Amino acid sequence: MSNKSVKRGCRSAKRRRPDYRRNYSYGKKLGEAIHKALDQHYGRDSHFNTRSTHKRRSALFVRYCKRCGMNDARKIDREFILQFGAYIKARLNADYEWPDGDVDEQISVAYAHNAISTTNTIMRAFRGDDALKVSAREVLGVCRKSVRTKEIKADVVDAKYAVNVAIAAGFERGAALILLARAWGMRVRECILQDLDRMKCEIEVSGEAAILEGCKGGRKSKDRTIKANEFRMEALEFAIEVRPAGSRNLLSKTDTVKSFLKTEVNPCRQFLLLSGIPHFMELRAGFAQDIYEEVMGGPSPLKGPIRDTVMDRIAREEVSRQLGHNRVSVASSYVGGMRNAA
């Protein structure tokens, strides 16, 4: 074989060599690379729901990239992100038709905002910075409005019925979580990881307890304190009674949050439905309404018109504080808005 043939063969082999740097070295396929990047960004042992949500939403961005011939995340620049934003904005008002005749259905404002948010997270996971981050409000030209209009279906009686059914089915810790969520307004992860002994000690000293463990975004603010009452003490004491021996929360030594969600939380969703409660978040909404009505001294906006706007503002601030939110406006997604003001 001549030297020329050898050289041609070497050059040919070099051209066929796969580019391991594609998608920032996370893999050849964009979809799979996004999943790996998100896992590394958040960590495989935490933020299960957040990662799952972003992975599910990323399918929209991946489909758009394929449509545009984009197969390497390294080539994505700000201009491409803005083009994606324009595509999402077009789907707000009507179905979007591609040149080949395929049609993408119209989407809601909330879904559009979520799509932009997930894209920002994906590029941050890939690059390690926010250089390509865009504002959903600026790109879409509309704000996300989340004001509840339907009455809350999670009163204490229904919650206790779901608890009894869960206990009868052998899911005592799942039942404890339902009670904690309804009585203390905690998110599912907060219920799982809350230090029950600490809460009890704080109540014995001051009559109230702070929600610290498992909070969204890792926030730990002692300002989020909630006064104990008979129902809240009942929920706390039951959780302490059914928790694994030697544990300060609902997890055993061999449990993880992920395994607890699969073995205890997910099976209890059917018990909520049987009692007329659509999902776990509704339990938190029920708590929020209790706080609002307690401060307001009257019904929530979902039940009747607002007659005192000053007290309404104070009640909303208290709801936001006890739910662990920084923005007062978030209360509207739980107790309703100002549209019924008298």
Q: Tens digits of per-residue pLDDT, 269-282?
A: 999 999 999 999 99
pLDDT, residue 194, reads 96
Cα 303 from Cα 331, distance rounded (Å) = 15
Cα–Cα distances in Å, from 319 out to 249, 314, 334, 341?
25, 9, 9, 18
User: pLDDT-based confidence at 173, cuts 50/70/90?
Assistant: very high
For range 4-30, the mean pLDDT: 68
- Average pLDDT over all residues of the chain: 90
C-beta separation of 70 from 34 below 8 A: no
DSSP state of 100: T
CA 288, 294, 295, 301 dihedral sign is positive
Q: Read out DSSP for 167-205?
A: HHTT-HHHHHHHHHHHHH---HHHHHH--HHHHHHHHHH
Pairwise pLDDT comparison (144 vs 28), residue with the higher score: 28
For range 117-130, the mean pLDDT: 95
pLDDT at 220 over 90: no
Q: Read out DSSP for 256-267?
A: -HHHHIIIIIHH
For range 58-87, the mean pLDDT: 95
DSSP state of 151: P
Cα 311 from Cα 237, distance rounded (Å) = 33
**Through-space distance between the first and last CA atoms of the chain, rounded to whole angstroms:** 94
pLDDT, residue 15, reads 56
pLDDT, residue 340, reads 45
pLDDT, residue 184, reads 97
Write down how long the chain is.
Answer: 342
Helix (H, G, I), strand (E, B) or coil at 208: strand
C-beta separation of 159 from 179 below 8 A: yes
DSSP state of 313: H
What H or E segment, with its residue span, contains residue 104?
strand 103-104
Kindly report the backbone phi and psi dihedral angles of residue 97, in degrees, each rounded to the nearest multiple of 5, phi listed first: -105, 125
pLDDT, residue 109, reads 86
For range 31-51, the mean pLDDT: 90
Pairwise pLDDT comparison (235 vs 340), residue with the higher score: 235
> Which residue in the block uniquely carries the two structure tokens 């999943």?
35
For range 289-316, the mean pLDDT: 92
pLDDT, residue 342, reads 46
User: Which residues lie closer than 8 Å to 9 by C-beta, 6 or more apart?
Assistant: none
pLDDT at 17 over 70: no
pLDDT, residue 47, reads 81
pLDDT, residue 213, reads 93
User: pLDDT-based confidence at 341, cuts 50/70/90?
Assistant: very low
Cα 208 from Cα 228, distance rounded (Å) = 5
C-beta separation of 265 from 289 below 8 A: no
Pairwise pLDDT comparison (215 vs 61), residue with the higher score: 61
Cα–Cα distances in Å, from 9 out to 12, 14, 18, 122, 183?
5, 9, 16, 39, 72
Helix (H, G, I), strand (E, B) or coil at 43: coil
State the CB neighbour count (10 A cutoff) for residue 308: 14
User: pLDDT-based confidence at 141, cuts 50/70/90?
Assistant: confident
pTM score, whole prediction: 0.70
pLDDT at 18 over 70: no
